[in-house]
Structure 1
Amino acid sequence: MVEEWLARAMSDYNRASLEKKESYVASLHMPGPILADLVDWCFQSLPDEILVGIEVDNSKPHRDEVDELFKGADHRHGLFAGQGSIIGEAHLVNRGDSYSVHHLPEEWTDGLFTESRGARGARFTHWLHTHPNAPAIPSGADADAAQSTEGVDLILGVDFSPAGPLPWYDDIEGERRPLAKDEQKGEKEAENAGANRPRWRSRFFGRSDRRPVLGKAPTGHSIHGLELIAFHRSGVGINVIFVDEEGLPYGWPFQSDATE
């Protein structure tokens, strides 16, 4: 089970993924509990970046009806390693700044294959790293690191305050995919919403920042928004679908296909 706020966020994200399916050539299915772990690790590590190794479960293929619904006209088979299998596990492997986070500690590398697998030099199929106070859009360094990824790369962007020396950087081009972003709420409504907040939430408004707030991270930072994207090393985007324990997307059935 995942917390209610995250289940709603995943349902909204999946609905957008369905609407945008023609913009993608393949999809990646991620279980909700794994996303919950990724978000927790991200919040616990602020303001640092984190790098997460992700592996698929080859015994859990995508459900045919889900693949068919989210398949665009330009769908490609066999584009990346692990395609067609649901993500099975994730491991937090490094924490640091944008320059050091992609270089793995020795215990996470395979030694013999380090040079041929680039700076990350490890055994995971997919990789995710965070963008503290920056949109989930690949930088030049991200694109370079992705060249050694057999699967896909994911970026989780997080907008938080106080930003310190890292204010939100918004002047960047690319497809933005919000994962969670609260609408403006009043103080009274925020108080009434307390029962539905996840454990890291505190309140909707901080003392020095009047933007809407999703909640409080364990580090004390106020979280204003999240973004998530996935891309292949060739530069094409990969559509992320969040699924439950049965392999069905959160929000299923969607209104468009429920009435057909």
Structure 2
Amino acid sequence: MNTPLLYASLCCPLDGQPLQQQANSWRCTQGHSFDTASQGYVNLLPVQKKRTLDPGDSNEMVGARRRFLASGVYAPLAQQLAACIQEANLPPSATCLDAGCGEGYYLRYCQAHLSSRSLRWVGLDISKWAVLAAAKKNGDMRWLVGSNANLPLLPSTVDYALCMFGFPVYEEFARVLKPEGTLLMVEAGPEHLRELREIIYPELKGKSDQWQVPDGFVLQQRQRLQCQVTLNSPELIADLLLMTPHLYRASAAGLARAQGLTHLVVSVDVEFRTLRRRP
């Protein structure tokens, strides 16, 4: 099996200049240098660009997400994602960016199940713990620590970008996408995890659909995935809570009720929005 080509069009997060690889480092003409970690990822989130000392998901949250996704509970989401990328009919060696890749579950799934194995895969996350876990699991992708607000990628070098349950910065997505490149937004719908939310919150707030097509993009397709999944152990329920913001928003009484659960059937409600960058 041939090792796929790695995406190499990185730019300096401090001045936007192209980065050139020199041995185990990436350097720009201004003298800024970023080392490749022993696990193979590159940290392109300098301290000047951090809002907190350790941004993004903690090591504990990453561990919970890794265990939960490894259980296969969210396999329907991964299958739908792979179908969306397959429908894009990307050319050989096209670059696919996962902006907010977490521990890399969805990229690994797509690499394993898509008919085209020659794509360049790039996973980026603001959490160094997430990228570390991803790089340990799969070394033949380009893994980056970085921010969606300042993507360390050169302009017009990405064919396909996806953002799953992340924090989109559409101006940056438009900058790095090639003309008429594709952006896939994956976001929770109003019924997502309703049964769990009914347990941990005193009342549920309605979610209105106020989403609008961002500037610079054209909406091509909206697809909605709805199903139910079974969490058949208290450990799975605890991991789901830990990997989501709900753990920090729930009431103490609600968390106590959740901790007493041993079995829960929850709704999955996710929308896939396919956007095309305007040329």
The TM tier, using the shorter chain, reads 0.3 to 0.5
* Higher Cα radius of gyration: 2
TM-score (norm 2): 0.33
Compare relative contact order (CA 8 Å, sep 6+) and give the higher one, 1 or 2. 1
TM-score (norm 1): 0.35
Higher helix residue share:
2
